[in-house]
Each structure stands twice: as structure tokens, then as C-alpha cells.
Amino acid sequence: GRSVEAVTLGSPEGLQAEVLTYGAILHRLSYPVRGQRRELILALGRLAQYEQDPAYVGPVVGRFANRIAQGRFAIDGRTHQLSRNENGNHLHGGVRGVGKRLWKLCPPPSDTSARLELHSPAGEEGYPGNLDILLELRILPDALRFSFTAHADSATPVNLTCHPYFNLGGPATLHWLRIPASRYVPVGAGLIPLGELTRVEGTAFDFRAGRVLAPPPLHTHAQLAAAGGFDHCWVLDDDADCHCELRSPQGDVALTVRGSGPGLQFYSGQFLSRSHPGIGSGVALEPQGLPDAPNHAEFPDAILRPEQTYTAQVEYRVNLA
């Protein structure tokens, strides 16, 4: 019974974005290419579709993006049980998460910026502590930036990112992708990390020089078979110049993604059509911390404590060839 607002940012001469206050969903992202405005992401046509969407088409995801094994973790010796919404595990914040909540728009946006706020109460989806999130959006002629700030009154996992599906024009498998990462996180049952980092050299997971997305046959690599394609987290090299770079099949548009966290979750969208037949093909490219980090002491810490401030950024920058 509450209204959902759509905020439009940008100008007709450059990058334009439309963000919904429901889920802070990135609903539109377009750029003028060869004299015509081209949509760069996939979108659903009706709000009701977003409310029922199981594939995370465009929202901010969290409190904890990615997976937590069995939805269970311990902080300071106390075990917490989260909701389990995917194969017995916790994914992208749970059944609702921040991506299915109504964010508050304040103050009124300008043509180039907007601020959204969300209060996640203690116990929501099983998370400890109250969490207050501020999302600041800013658009430039060629870039869109998401800046997150969050505070909690009790120790809680936090890993916020954005989940649009990109398609720069043409079949997703014909796009070109570069990821400046020498290692990735192999997964086991339920796509839960095994707790180790594996070198990409000589495997289908090596995108350091960039290549066309189409994966080799799934049977050629156990990790491809486990995920039905790519749905893994790459760990950026120390000298990485970005999180990734995506180019259209025609080579006329390039998207550079930068953000916070050592990881990039790349999902090739192989099961997207099961949830949304006819939506088209697209890929998710999500800068973030490492999956299941609360259960792996060897991974970077993902716990936000009351005396700390959580910050994270995601930037999408468009260039024409």
C-alpha cells in the first residue's frame, strides 16, 4: 500500500539511470551510441515482477551479498542462524533482504544525485543488531556511482553491492570480458566456497587478458559443471586497475566496473531465463567481499562492529570505441 518512486538521473546527452526506491533497484541504464540511446542492463516491466523476482534483477543486495553456508555463522562465540533461501544456504540477504525493502528517498533528488536510506531492524532475516544504511547515488556524463555507508549497534556481517544484469548489445556469450585476477574461489555443493584460492592460469577462469565470454563445455572443468557455467568470485590482483571490463560484441561500447572489496562475483546468467523467459541474456558483475567470509578466518573480515563505519562503492563507467 506504499508508493514506490522512480528517480531519473543524468542528461539526454550522456549516461542516464533510473533507480527505484523499492530495493534501490537500478531499473534503467542507457547511453547514446551511434546516435541512438542504448539500454545497457536488463529490466522487468512491472513492479509486481520485481516483488516476485528470484533472480535479483537490478537491486542492491545484502545485508550480506553472496552466500553464507547453511545460513549460520558465529561472532564472539555466539552462533547466529539466518534465513535459508537457496538450497539450505543464505543468499543475498535472505528471503527479502535489502533488495526487497522500500528505501526512503531524502532529501529530494537533483538531476545528478540522490540519497536513499534504509533501516534494517535487529533480527531481520536472523541478523544481529540494527543496521542503518545510507546510499548516495551520483551520475556523471559517463559514469554512475553507488556509495554505501552503514552503522550497526551490534556486531553483524555486512557486504553490500549491486546486482544488475549487463547486456551492452547482442548475446551475452559474445561479450568480451577482462578480470584482472590471478585467483578465484572454488566452490563445492550449493556453490559454497571450499575455503581456498586457486590460480586461474591455464583454466577457463583466466580472464586476465580478456576474452569472449562463451565458456568451454561444462564437462571440461569440474567448477563449470558445479555452477552450470560461471558463478564464482575472483580475487583481484594487488595491482588491478579495475574490477572488470566488459565490451559489447560489436566492440562499440565498453563498461569498466570499479568498486570496493577484494572480490568480483561474475555470474554468466545461465539460469536467468528460468525465472524470466524472454528477458534476454545478461551477466552480473558484482564488486564485493568474499563469499561465506564469516565462516572463513582466512578471508578478509566481514563483520561490522558498533565502533566502526562500513563504506563501499560501486562505479560503472561507459566508454565508446
DSSP letters, 176-201, are EEE---SEEE-B-GGG-B-S--EE-T
What's the pTM value of the predicted model, to 2 decimals? 0.97
Looking at residue 42, its pLDDT comes to: 98
**Is 286 labeled as catalytic in the residue annotation?**
yes
What pLDDT was estimated at residue 1? 82
Grid cell listed for 91 = 543468499
The verdict on whether omega for the bond into residue 186 sits within 30 degrees of 0, i.e. cis, is: no
Element of type H or E holding 104:
strand 104-105
pLDDT for position 169: 97
* Number of Cβ atoms within 10 Å of the Cβ of 139: 24
Q: Provide the pLDDT for residue 277.
A: 97
pLDDT of 293: 98
Active site residue: 163, 232, 243, 296, which one? 163
Sign of CA dihedral 299, 300, 303, 305: positive
Taking the CB of residue 50, how many other CB atoms lie within 10 A of it?
A: 22
- Distance, in Å, from the CA atom of 257 to the CA atom of 246, rounded to the nearest integer, reads 8
Catalytic residue from among 245, 286, 296, 315: 286
Residues 6+ apart with CB under 8 A from 281: 167, 171, 172, 173, 269, 272, 273
pLDDT at 215: 81
pLDDT along the chain (321 residues), means of 10: 95 96 98 96 97 98 98 98 98 97 95 98 98 98 98 98 98 98 98 97 97 93 96 98 98 98 97 97 98 98 98 98 81
